[in-house]
Structure 1
């Protein structure tokens, strides 16, 4: 039996060892982590709905109505009226024929690619796509071709090599860099090559677009140009789970063939009820998206005045590139000493040599919170 201890020790020596922090408060800008009061800039709760009182009340009412667990997979007895209503509301929100709920974005991505493609087919992906898209391609048995991040010429070259059924999968907003995929150009390439375009909009939905409909609204793209949309509910929506939206034929195919749908217990119905509430808030309170834009603009101005050069990102995800894992950990530790929580992101989450602080904003952050962050950043060695 393999001795695992040397691998763990090597991870420590390479500054790649990880441990979970213990959160002792609701998910909000001011938190208690491992017993210490901190100002958090490390959550994906972009709209500040994870601890919203209205969403929590909908959750409580959902538990009173449905209990704490779904008890079974969707295709057994786990699909409640609350699940059905949420799917219908998500379909309407995204402008699609149907939507299908999953327990996580990871499982949703696995579902789509493994159900639509197999041996003899081809998946094309951006090098910085989320790990779940990469794993889905590998598990499908299809050939996986990847292209340099954001390089449209490279994407076209890979498409020209593809055979069988073809699917190009891409993040709408890249989770560690915060930049946007050029979806109009990719959609045109896919049209020319008779290729599915799948958009993982986990970090775009709720954040981008006047109505919060995400990357597709931002680029004004229709259903025919982007036939497969995946969105998660644990970020801007403030709850948990994920969904795939598309044509009736696509959703019915996933119901019949996607193993991560067929063989997984459904999310608790109470989560569906809470998400129905957050979906309504997300659409009605556009000020939350406006506030995010204000925070990002103020942060860019403040970071520039301190001499930091930031990669191009207009989203709440703002990477501060340190380079080495050791330096990223040092920066994160120095911020923590000042009461500011920002996670150090290291390989394999990001490519070697690009370890960073991943600073994320929430609509709940105040100007005072932002000033605390900038004041702490001023003390970082460069």
Structure 2
């Protein structure tokens, strides 16, 4: 075995010993409490029909972009879609990236410079962490949703200051205190960046997100909207000023040096936004309320969350995996989230609620959770 193979095998063995090894699986269980398809868009026949209708209006579209947006991969339809999405979210402008990961890495690796400061919540998404690492800026993190600790870090900051949070956190499902964060950012002349991945489609008028719901659209420097959660398709957009869009076109490496998304992907995104106007936006909140109320009736402790993401904590990887296996044996697709993805001792079941989950399925899931106590 070569030296590099020994290294890789050793790292994998460490993961196996800690019961935290990751493996791909094609096993799909009958009742989905796992995916980020909160509104059922990914499985929607009506959305599929709308996508096909939009594509039919462009019969000469290419199978692939053929190059980056700066070469052969740009189209009028893509730019119109960007402006359509920006208008929907009440933003001045937007730039589409191939994924949420690309959007966060591109934004955070290019805008903050040496001598600037980035401050992130300690539970921020890995893509944001990686983007910050690629920046030459000084980096701090503050205790989760702790305004006092954020202010302590702001007092140490120099240069252009960027505060980065998620509106809804992907593992705990709780919300950032965005109004308080916005107020303190203005006091210290810091630029607020908000990842709305898990709020888009769920909160705000017609699913515009928490920034819109809280009327903070004019108080943020940038928003990251991803299309692969509630919108059920793929990609992301960075929303902000026209100046920011032009800057990212020139300096965001994850935008510049990658082949553009094919036009049928852009059409899917455009269609998903059109479909948002056709759904009952209260239904997902009714499902969340039913789950929370049933938990309370059964005296089951869960992370406090008003979002589609609900967490049941366990004390170890082994305990979380055993709990997931029990629910999976009953047909529920519920996954354990293990350390190091989450902090040691905060392993959990991450339960995602959807509009297509029946009331009976939700109540049955909670009943089986009760069996774990």
Q: TM-score, length-normalised on structure 1? A: 0.92
Q: Does 1:241 align with 2:235?
A: yes
Q: What is aligned with 1:29? A: none
SS of alignment partner, residue 141 of structure 2: strand
Q: Does 1:294 align with 2:289?
A: no
Per-residue Cα deviation, 1:219-274 (whole angstroms, up to 9, x for no partner):
22132x11201110001111000000111111111111111110011111101111
Q: What is aligned with 2:366? A: 374
SS of alignment partner, residue 196 of structure 1: strand
Q: What is aligned with 1:5? A: 9
Task: Name the CA shift for 1:172/1:258 in 2 (closer, same or farther; >3 Å).
Answer: same
Distance in 1 between residues matched to 2:88 and 2:356, nearest whole Å: 24
Distance in 1 between residues matched to 2:62 and 2:141, nearest whole Å: 44
SS of alignment partner, residue 77 of structure 1: coil
Q: What is aligned with 1:139? A: 134
Distance in 1 between residues matched to 2:347 and 2:335, nearest whole Å: 11
Q: CA deviation at 1:209?
A: 1.3
Q: What is aligned with 1:27? A: none
Q: Which moved more, 1:195-204 or 1:115-124?
A: 115-124
Among candidates 215, 219, 231, match of residue 210 of structure 2: 215
Per-residue Cα deviation, 1:194-215 (whole angstroms, up to 9, x for no partner):
1110000000111101321101
SS of alignment partner, residue 284 of structure 1: coil
Alignment of 1:177-188 (within 5 A): 177-188=172-183
Distance in 2 between residues matched to 1:175 and 1:163, nearest whole Å: 29
Distance in 2 between residues matched to 1:103 and 1:248, nearest whole Å: 19
SS of alignment partner, residue 71 of structure 2: helix
Q: Does 1:318 align with 2:310?
A: yes
Q: What is aligned with 2:190? A: 195
Alignment of 1:58-73 (within 5 A): 58-60=50-52, 62=55, 65-73=60-68
Q: What is aligned with 1:30? A: none
Among candidates 14, 18, 22, match of residue 22 of structure 2: 18
Among candidates 339, 362, 366, match of residue 331 of structure 2: 339
Q: CA deviation at 1:371?
A: 2.5
2:119–2:162 Cα contact (<8 Å) kept: yes
SS of alignment partner, residue 145 of structure 2: coil
1:55–1:275 Cα contact (<8 Å) kept: no
Distance in 2 between residues matched to 1:146 and 1:125, nearest whole Å: 5
1:340–1:376 Cα contact (<8 Å) kept: no
Alignment of 1:217-296 (within 5 A): 217-223=212-218, 225-285=219-279, 287=280, 289-296=281-288
Counting matched residue pairs gives 366
Q: CA deviation at 1:67?
A: 3.3
Q: Which moved more, 1:172-181 or 1:115-124?
A: 115-124
2:300–2:370 Cα contact (<8 Å) kept: no
1:125–1:147 Cα contact (<8 Å) kept: yes
Segments of 4+ in structure 1 off by > 3 A?
58-61
Distance in 2 between residues matched to 1:217 and 1:310, nearest whole Å: 28
Alignment of 1:85-96 (within 5 A): 85-96=80-91
Task: Name the CA shift for 1:125/1:352 in 2 (closer, same or farther; >3 Å).
Answer: same
Distance in 2 between residues matched to 1:195 and 1:284, nearest whole Å: 38
User: How large is the RMSD of aligned CA atoms in angstroms?
Assistant: 1.4
Per-residue Cα deviation, 1:64-96 (whole angstroms, up to 9, x for no partner):
542332221111111123312210111111111
Q: CA deviation at 1:58?
A: 4.0
Q: What is aligned with 1:123? A: 118
Q: TM-score, length-normalised on structure 2? A: 0.95
Distance in 2 between residues matched to 1:16 and 1:259, nearest whole Å: 32
Distance in 1 between residues matched to 2:320 and 2:33, nearest whole Å: 15
Alignment of 1:147-158 (within 5 A): 147-158=142-153
Q: CA deviation at 1:283?
A: 2.7
